[in-house]
Chain A
């Protein structure tokens, strides 16, 4: 079972993402900020990361940078943000995101993007 790490400071958003991903058979783990996420990732790298932007003490950008600098196996990362501004989007890519979705994310979009990034069949 593929492991997805959902990183968001809002418990409701984490549960929302968890419900979507677990419904499709992924094993979901959670982290409430970038620091906790990095600790978890370093211990056991996930197959995919769903990353929020704004969450102290480390935001999603810092997490992605550190993750990409680390030498663990690199899973793809989806950055999830409320900002549709292209500057924010570019910043996500610079930090190391592979995809950028706008909140609230439609369940189908999160799932399809996840499957595409993991190379799993989409119907």
Chain B
């Protein structure tokens, strides 16, 4: 079951329970308005949710229930015993469907009759006044629309269009109403009626209407033109006649007078459903799909309505500005800077004159192409007979997606409690403070013994401390468990992302997700989302080849992208593997050299494995052209730093022609860090234990200078030495002990090790690291600060930056 369907399922059962409860309460308090509203809202929510899937039977019943609820709520229908029974029946039916969906991912196809019967029973309860209303109108509009001297459609042309036309007519411009009924076989005669209409001279507005009610989808012949066009054009009759010269019998022209344009409501009928056209070409919309240009036109339509709202001068000015902002963004989207600057001009004019006219004029000029008027579906009949057409997402579509393998198992919603994250964070901070303050107790024991000489008390304090310590650790563990999230939290977005990107790139990719139930701390999981998306984009864009190239190389046409998560000890490993073209180390080396990231000497020493790691270097990008997808100015260095910010590491392996593998290793949680405390020049510093390999004392005599840097040999291995004082620019020299030995902390850094010369080692402690704030946040040699048990502050070093 897809996560969305599972979510629907869980919410549906919650809502159904709520409905049953409210109905029972309503029986006791008939007519209680707040109960009524709540009940209506629950049914409404459920209906809305079911509309996202292809569950027509369920939606139908819920829709009827919603209408009934609404009618009862507003007092149009009285609340009877029968009402409760019917709603309960309907909800039982919905519950039954939900259980089937839960078991099989969809329900059996045999519910249509039951659904229709229930819906009818519900609607039968709605007071009949309403019904008479809703059934009255649409049938006779068709015939009238062409016969009447004033085109009936004129009454439904947006006011702004009529006003614009009227102004032109008042100045003596010719204005015609066109009715164009293309021949049914026009597509076979090489005609493109939509194109012809849009090319009409002086085309101002248009609408497409079906010539007859739509037949059932199975009976529909798409090669048969069943459309008629209405238009308003500001052009002389001769020009119009010439434009339509090859189809004189299909077009009718009617001159529009100023009076008609001013009072088009000659007779009021329901507008015929259809698509509206606006025209002329102020905005560059070439390259916009028909679908998108409809959405654009709809947005323009909204702006028109906003401009037509009444209000005081101040409100109006705000609206002008808001509309201008939206229009300007649209122009930006379409890359039309000229139209954008005209928006700004129109807005300035509107603001100074206090009238919406300049912006309305801009909109009238704008080439918003096809508008379905809000709320108008092609014909009611079509919606009823093929709901899948209007349903944006079919449940089956998602579950059948063949290329996506997910490892989740369908199971009932677990019993859970929703808690605000802020509350968890607060609890965690409190536990953090508890851990820190419990560290003060050993100091206390020491003082009791050393300062006050009460050894007995000291021992008791220590015993008590171990109890508190154990509880604190368990609490810490428990809160960590609460904060754990499965990686599926971010993985579930990938199927769609991969599908969209691969379509855009014309590549075939099957995505395999493994180990989605692996858990890690919420913050870690969240910090992973952006880098992973970036990596996936990179893999699809640069890694995987197009099907043709793959076939030519003897690979399967469809590439495979595997994203897996596994837990290893206290770390989570995420691997992103593709079987694409791999990364050529020679290309990387050349690029890195060209960009000045490595010098010639280093280049010669680089192994292939080291070379490809260079893609993580700042300022490195191999893509020849910056593409829309992965070349957004963030390189792999951003990915690396995002991973390192949560103490993760990232590694890259690649084989030319075979593919690339990225391994990200992350800590399970980032709340508590174990640090070793070291002393240098009488100051203490913390070093994360993750980095510490060992502590050794090395006689001064064992330190040699190789290539001008101090080095020592530790169990046959060369270890370069660095003095912490030197790195932190502390003037004092490292202190040695009585035997003239230096304290060296061997730390791991990337793949190598470095010996850090310090004055002395102290104990290791668990600390809660807090990031440095304010003016200190610029100090990147420290990864954060921590509060010690005795109240002092420990600065934790960020070794990558220090060394």
Contacts and interface: CB of A to CB of B under 8 A. Distances in A.
Interface of A: 1, 9-13, 15-16, 19, 22-25, 54, 56, 68, 74, 76, 82, 84-86, 89-90, 93-94, 96, 98-100, 102-109, 112-113, 115-123
B393 interface: yes
B392 A105 contact: yes
Given A68-B318, A93-B302, 12 more contacts: A12-B12, A13-B52, A15-B3, A22-B496, A23-B496, A25-B533, A86-B374, A104-B52, A112-B296, A116-B299, A117-B330, A118-B333
Nearest to A107: B392
Contacts of A24: 500
A40 to B, nearest CB: 11
A123 B285 CA distance: 10
B41 A54 contact: yes
A104 to B, nearest CB: 4
B375 interface: yes
B295 A89 contact: no
Given A93-B302, A104-B391, A22 B493 contact: yes
B305 interface: yes
B192 to A, nearest CB: 22
Contacts of A90: 305, 309
A16 B374 contact: no
B7 A11 contact: yes
Contacts of A120: 333
A93 B306 contact: yes
Interface stretch (B120-128, B321-329, B460-468, B728-736): B321-329
A110 to B, nearest CB: 9
A117 B306 CA distance: 15
Counting from the closest, the 10 A-B pairs by CB-CB distance are: A84-B375, A119-B332, A119-B329, A23-B496, A12-B49, A112-B295, A104-B51, A12-B8, A106-B392, A10-B45
A19 to B, nearest CB: 6
Given A90-B305, A93-B305, A107-B392, A123 B287 contact: yes
A12 B52 contact: yes
A82 B309 contact: no
Interface residues of B, number: 55
Contacts of B330: 116-117, 119
B771 interface: no
Contacts of A106: 392
B609 interface: no
Contact of B375 (A76, A85, A99, A117): A85
A106 to B, nearest CB: 4
Q: Which of B3, B51, B295, B296 has the most CB of A within 10 A?
A: B295
Contacts, number: 139
Contact of A121 (B8, B302, B333): B333
Contacts of B333: 115-116, 118-122
Contacts of A86: 374-375
A9 to B, nearest CB: 7
19 contacts: A10-B45, A12-B8, A22-B493, A22-B496, A54-B41, A54-B44, A84-B375, A84-B376, A93-B305, A98-B326, A104-B48, A104-B52, A108-B295, A109-B295, A113-B298, A116-B299, A117-B299, A117-B329, A118-B329
B138 to A, nearest CB: 15
Given A105-B392, A108-B291, A16 B52 contact: yes
A93 B493 CA distance: 32
A116 B51 contact: no
Nearest to B375: A84
A122 B329 contact: no
A96 B326 CA distance: 12
Given A84-B374, A84-B375, A119-B329, A12 B11 contact: yes
Contacts of A98: 302-303, 306, 322, 326
Contacts of B305: 89-90, 93
A10 B530 contact: no
B380 interface: no
A94 B306 CA distance: 8
B288 interface: yes
Contacts of A12: 4, 7-8, 11-12, 49, 52
B430 interface: no
Interface in B259-316: 287-289, 291-292, 295-296, 298-299, 302-303, 305-306, 309, 311
Interface string B390-433: 01110000000000000000000000000000000000000000
B7 A15 contact: yes
B34 to A, nearest CB: 10
A3 B167 CA distance: 43
A8 to B, nearest CB: 9
B318 to A, nearest CB: 8
B335 interface: yes
A1 B642 CA distance: 14
Contacts of B393: 16, 104, 107
A97 B38 CA distance: 25
B654 to A, nearest CB: 25
A55 B41 CA distance: 8
Given A1-B530, A93-B306, A104-B392, A82 B48 contact: yes
B251 interface: no
B799 interface: no
B561 to A, nearest CB: 16
B497 interface: yes
B501 to A, nearest CB: 9
Nearest to A25: B533
A108 B392 CA distance: 9
Nearest to A100: B302
B416 to A, nearest CB: 13
A123 B504 CA distance: 10
A106 B309 CA distance: 27
A59 to B, nearest CB: 10
Q: Which of A19, A93, A116 has the most CB of B within 10 A?
A: A116
A19 B326 contact: no
Contacts of B298: 99, 109, 113
Contacts of B788: none
A10 B288 contact: no
Given A94-B309, A108-B292, A100 B335 contact: no
A112 to B, nearest CB: 4
B698 interface: no
B95 to A, nearest CB: 16
B11 A11 contact: yes
Interface in B327-373: 328-330, 332-335
Contacts of A121: 333-335, 628
A108 to B, nearest CB: 6
Q: Which of A10, A85, A115 has the most CB of B within 10 A?
A: A10
Contacts of A105: 392
Contacts of A99: 298-299, 302, 326
B39 to A, nearest CB: 13
A86 B48 CA distance: 19
Contacts of B530: 1
Given A82-B48, A93-B305, A102 B374 contact: yes
A123 B296 CA distance: 12
Contacts of B38: 56
Contact of B4 (A16, A74, A119, A123): A16
A10 to B, nearest CB: 5
Interface in B558-613: none
Contacts of A116: 295-296, 299, 326, 329-330, 333
Nearest to B288: A122
A25 B4 CA distance: 18
Contacts of A15: 3-4, 7
B493 A23 contact: yes
Contacts of A19: 4, 493, 496
